[in-house]
Structure 1
Amino acid sequence: MGNALRFLYGYCCKPTTADDGGHHSLPPHGVWAATDGLSALTSDLFHFDITSQVPEGLSKHVHSSKTAQAKWYRRLLEAWRGAKPPPKTAKEAALLIIKTLNKVQKSDIVGLLRFYGLSIPDDTVVEFSAELPTTLPEDVQFTMQTLPVDPRAVQDGDSVTVYVSTEDPRESVSIPPQVNFFAGKRLKARINRDNGKAKELHDKIINSGYRVLKIDDKEILARKYRIRLRGIDAPEHKMPYGDEAKDELTKLVQGKCLSILVYEEDQYGRTVGDIYCNGIFVQEVMLKKGCAWHYVTYDKRPQLARWEKEARAKKVGL
């Protein structure tokens, strides 16, 4: 077990009784949870590291199986060891759980926190209100539905590369003739197992702004778009908080099909648009979590200013 966890275990979870064999024993888990959630969590991580067993009674608070619970504790154990410094307060422990298990369903995270008597810190509670509009805003030129986003396609906190299938009616009528030609020749090369020729033709397709993607064992010819999120500005990679902003956007869009409301093309050839993911307005998330600034010079929407103001008031992120 890592020194940080061992030290904190010894600091928070000092045994209080001794059995007949001279070995110290810990009080029942419920006693710890009622008095100190941090001690209880540290105790359970200590024992999971030794026995690979999740604490008894947790299943009464969460819906997932014990196999899933074991995965949570394995991830929490790794996160605890890697934390510098490790959590020393109940709030820090709650934040570690929320951050580490961010892909676990919300009800299970809430149940896990309640199991340890931990509460969700106020500054992590973010409500998202904007949904995909039923009628398009006046300045929107068109909408697009993307294929699943590759996490490597996120450049920073306000830019992402997406692909749209050429089977989309809008795309199908605008495919350059040479792209269709290259795609047809490539297919024949693959049938003939001429991998070298197929790669050469695919490179020509890529250079034309398209790509053949394999999704669910099906090859799809798709058009590439570089998207600039309208109305926000995030720090670049080498700037303070640049990595965190990029990670947040990646977490939001990776593996997802996006709905994009397209407004215009900027001076760099990027498509400027509003991105919606599973009904959530991505720019709202980025602003409310303090991962971007409102780009007021190019977008005067009052709700963007309000969301940034809320993040500033909570001292979240940037």
Structure 2
Amino acid sequence: MGNALRFLCAKCCEPSPESDSVGHHGVTAETVGVSALAHDLYNFEITNQVPQELGKHVVSSRKAQSNWYKKLAVAWRETKPPPKSAEEASRLVIQTLKRHQKADVEVSDRISFIPLGIMSTIYIILIALLVKGLLAFYGLPLHHTLVDLTTGPPPSHSQPQGLKFELHTIPVDPKAVADGDTITVYVSVEDSRESANVPREVQVAAVERANARAQRNYDRADELHKHIIDAGYRVINLQNEEVLAKKYRIRLRGIDAPEGKMPFGQEAKDELVKIVQNKCLRVLVFDEDRYGRCVGDIYCNGIFVQESMLKKGLAWHYKAYDRRPELDKWEKEARAKRVGLWSSSNPEMPWEWRKDRRQGR
């Protein structure tokens, strides 16, 4: 049976060397892969044709491939709303094709000697390999890299030990993400916690700036806005309405992501952007670091951001400052899957990397 499985692996899924990171059309951005899959499914429903390049990633008949796309097209159409993220698209492919019928999969005569009692296992493995090839074709996340996020935000009335205060932000600008563990957020001064603490000079400058803009004196308005920014505030256009907001720099509590120049540094930043961009966040602040950043837990639409970063292998558990066992558990899960930075045999710790740079090494 071992020889038969090796033969199946060789024949049924033959991705090109770069297939884990680049899909067809040279896809590297996962969102482009989602769009490409949606386009191909739409085109299949019109022409009944599958992409010609698919054969470079999976070895099967065009008839079998048509059966896959027929099932996927139906599943995509019935999913409301349709998949938008790479993870959602990947899950749809996996869930749809894992129910594949044996008739949709062709097996070579060279393994006809295998006893019927173990053929069902062979088919399961075969289909898994075909799914892997299809995901690689579109540059979508493979099955072992997907994570289940089970931790939702704590109840609003809860008071975790050490909590100092709570922030509710306006939608986050993607440019406000500095790296995989640091983000700048803004909180409207209409928020009950902020309204009583706005400096008088900021209030006056905001009013004068609005008057200057009404009079089209934009140079004066820009000068006033600079004073507002220097005081730690900003006037932000939100749905065609100007909102005065307080600036906070947030350091994600309990994790340390690779620095930008380190391996997986850019991937960590991109993942954090993907999670928080244009979203309102709930931030539980526990401390302030030596750089003046608030150290806190971030929740976004029911997702605990630190959990997502750890499970996807894009951050380390920062044990020197946070001993929560769940963070350690999530890091170990990513290590076991060898996802993200754990795909490297000996990833460098970001705190050691920073130390080396400070000491000139």
User: What's the TM-score once normalised by structure 1's chain length?
Assistant: 0.71
Q: 1:148 to 1:106 in 2, by over 3 A?
A: farther
Unpaired runs of 5+ residues, structure 1, are 15-25, 35-39, 41-54, 73-99
Which residue is equivalent to 1:127? 148
Which residue is equivalent to 2:303? 280
Map 1:1-318 onto structure 2 (within 5 A). 9=55, 27-28=62-63, 31-32=64-65, 58-63=72-77, 101-102=85-86, 108-110=92-94, 118=131, 121-134=142-155, 135-318=158-341
Which residue is equivalent to 2:348? none
- Following superposition, the deviation at residue 124 of structure 1 comes to 2.0
- Following superposition, the deviation at residue 105 of structure 1 comes to 6.2
Which residue is equivalent to 1:92? none
Q: Structure 2 CA distance, aligned partners of 1:295 and 1:237?
A: 17
Q: 1:259 to 1:208 in 2, by over 3 A?
A: same
Identity %: 48
Q: Alignment partner of 1:63: what SS? A: helix
- Answer yes or no: is the 8 Å Cα contact 2:94–2:143 preserved in 1: no
Q: Alignment partner of 2:297: what SS? A: strand
- Answer yes or no: is the 8 Å Cα contact 1:62–1:107 preserved in 2: no
RMSD: 3.1
Q: 1:105 to 1:236 in 2, by over 3 A?
A: same
Deviations 1:262-299 (A, max 9, x none): 00111100010000011111001111111000000000
Deviations 1:96-120 (A, max 9, x none): xxxx952756764556656896268
- Answer yes or no: is the 8 Å Cα contact 2:145–2:337 preserved in 1: no
Unpaired runs of 5+ residues, structure 2, are 1-23, 28-50, 105-126, 133-140, 342-361
Q: Structure 2 CA distance, aligned partners of 1:10 and 1:123?
A: 22
- Specify the code of the residue in structure 1 equivalent to 2:245: A
Q: 1:148 to 1:12 in 2, by over 3 A?
A: closer
- Answer yes or no: is the 8 Å Cα contact 1:160–1:228 preserved in 2: yes
- Specify the code of the residue in structure 2 equivalent to 1:289: K
Q: Structure 2 CA distance, aligned partners of 1:147 and 1:204?
A: 21
Q: Alignment partner of 2:183: what SS? A: strand
Q: Structure 2 CA distance, aligned partners of 1:188 and 1:299?
A: 48
- Answer yes or no: is the 8 Å Cα contact 1:157–1:248 preserved in 2: yes
Q: Structure 2 CA distance, aligned partners of 1:112 and 1:211?
A: 47
Q: 1:3 to 1:217 in 2, by over 3 A?
A: closer
- Following superposition, the deviation at residue 195 of structure 1 comes to 1.2
Which residue is equivalent to 1:45? none
Which residue is equivalent to 2:137? none
Q: Alignment partner of 2:279: what SS? A: coil
User: What's the TM-score once normalised by structure 2's chain length?
Assistant: 0.63
Q: Alignment partner of 2:246: what SS? A: strand
- Answer yes or no: is the 8 Å Cα contact 1:101–1:109 preserved in 2: no
- Answer yes or no: is the 8 Å Cα contact 2:144–2:337 preserved in 1: yes
- Answer yes or no: is the 8 Å Cα contact 1:265–1:271 preserved in 2: yes
Q: Structure 2 CA distance, aligned partners of 1:195 and 1:217?
A: 18
- Specify the code of the residue in structure 2 equivalent to 1:304: L
Deviations 1:37-63 (A, max 9, x none): xxx7xxxxxxxxxxxxxx656432222
- Following superposition, the deviation at residue 9 of structure 1 comes to 4.4
Q: Structure 2 CA distance, aligned partners of 1:175 and 1:2?
A: 52
Q: Structure 1 CA distance, aligned partners of 2:193 and 2:221?
A: 27
Q: Alignment partner of 2:278: what SS? A: coil
Count of residue pairs the alignment pairs up: 255
Higher helix share: 2
- Following superposition, the deviation at residue 128 of structure 1 comes to 1.4
